[in-house]
Structure 1
Amino acid sequence: MTKPAPTVNATATAGGSIIDISSNGVIVEDVNIAGRDTTNPGVAPTVLPALQFEGYSDAGTLLAYAQMAGVAEDVTDGAENGRVDISVRDGGVMTQKINVTGAAITLQDDTTVNGIVTGRAANTTALRAESTTGNLSNLAFVSNTGDQVRLEAVIDGINQGSLIPKGAGASVNLGTSGNPWDNGVFKGAVTAQDFTVDGGFFNIGGATVVTIAAGAVTATRSHHFVDTEGGAASDTLDTINGGTDGDLLLLRTVDSARTVTIAETNNIRVGGTTFTLSDTSDRILLVKAGALWITVSQADTV
């Protein structure tokens, strides 16, 4: 006995139209609706018939405002691949916005995602920023005033992976005072301009030279050689400019033949009247407290 073909009925309602598919007067729930292309079988890529959502413009023109189309991307027997393209009319032009394949969901152009993006399994990428035209790819966190923080990757550049704060006075905070970021673990060295934490050691980096001028130097990092003015055999340091509250500063003389006497005057406190750096093995460690540089420790090898 031949099974009767289903009947399609459209019923108008106040909220729109309801389409029922029935057989012998009974609504059928497991009916497939297929848009088929039989004119060009076995050729890829083939755009299959689309489902369009149409309406009129204010000029009376009937237009498709949205469209969902299927594509046969690979028709190899046993290895077929398909794709679904979702398009909407944007600025008067039908524009493809989303592509769905077995491998990925691809968002086209500048697309806004509201909600949470979740990876489908462990060790997979939940969200990827990819550049196909250059060596720079970035993911920006944006507020109504523009980029605030940007996670940036530069291939073969000096910063191959950087978290970059944007704007004057911007900073990157790992957590907040109310919700701190605890027990952070970094693999390898972590460098912050003038210091490095590497393998459990705190390293302030190699020293750079500052030269005394009229009794003063300007500290620009936490480790400096101090040279005498004009290469003199001896000189006195009574003022250290630069630094902010809480900064550490390690000083040593640039040459054992150039003695530097650090005087407890102006903004320096050495725990006495003077401390002399007479050998390259001598050290003095100071901390900035308000406007003063105060001695934490001294090492006099002579």
Structure 2
Amino acid sequence: MNSFKFNKSDYTFILIYFAGASIWLLYRWNVENYTSFEMITGLPGFIIKNLLLLYIFKWLINEYLVVRKNYVVFILLAFVAWEVVGFLDMWRDYYTAEPSWKLPSFGVMLVDNFYRSAADSVMLVGIILGKKYYENKLDYARLESAQKDLELKVLRSQYDPHFLYNSLNTIDALVEYSPKEKVKEYISHLAALYRYLIHTKDEEVVSLHDELGLARNYFYLIETRFENDYCFKIMEKEEPEANYLPNGALLTVLENVVKHNEASEGNTITTQIVIEKKAVRIVNTLSKKEVSAESMGTGIKNLKKRYELLSDRNVAIEATEHNYTVILPLLNLVK
């Protein structure tokens, strides 16, 4: 899902690379008796040329290797990029060289332009790609660890025996005081919730539609158990651009609401799930007891970490005196 993007350490490395390369070039040009004017114009030309190629290759990698997986087009466009940038650098060299030199033939120029660009850019692009490769390997290892933690959390915490125990107690009460149909409906929702958890336990991301279906089953279980203490609503404001969430993300936030808010007499805890263009906004009213954003448990912290590993978007928290809001960015899958 992550595309090839530069982070802070990448920019630091690029800066160090150009600093070292500049020192080496100035020394080399001095040994080769370049004029001051050639050095003054050549150094910015070198930096601009390589930065331009670096960002061109960043775009080509994202577009034709990550997204489209069209390797032939990638190679062809890479060759064109080297030739065009090399041609521009050749004209810079031509107008700044002292003494001036004669332009080569077209065939020689084609070869020279290629090596003008490729020789300089391959080292920088190659090192950056190597760095990103090992960073992605580390991220993948962290993601696997986070996924295993999520599975354990599903079994031991979020949907732990206490949740099942309370649900069975609710069934016991329903059997004694409620119609048969009510009991069957409750059992059906409970079974659907656990069936979903079992079927998706190996998935990193799931569709928004599936997460909302899971949430509706959870609504029913909580509203049946606590009656008027909790009220849940789903509101679709506009058609979302993306349609995926980390597995269990929505349920993590909803259970957070129930865990940290106790309804008092005449004070129903209301939760609204608002589907927006780029995110899902979960807004709940707060109970009278004070609950800060920092004390909302490990569920939200783990969810933030999973977003960091899965995408470049972050979970946002907005807390006021009366409401607590969690904003879950919607994700796109890169195929």
Decide: shared fold, TM above 0.5: no
TM-score, structure 2 as length reference: 0.15
Question: Relative contact order (C-alpha < 8 Å, sep 6+): which is higher?
Answer: 2
Q: Which has the larger radius of gyration?
A: 1
Q: Comparing both structures, which one devotes a greater share of its residues to strand?
A: 1
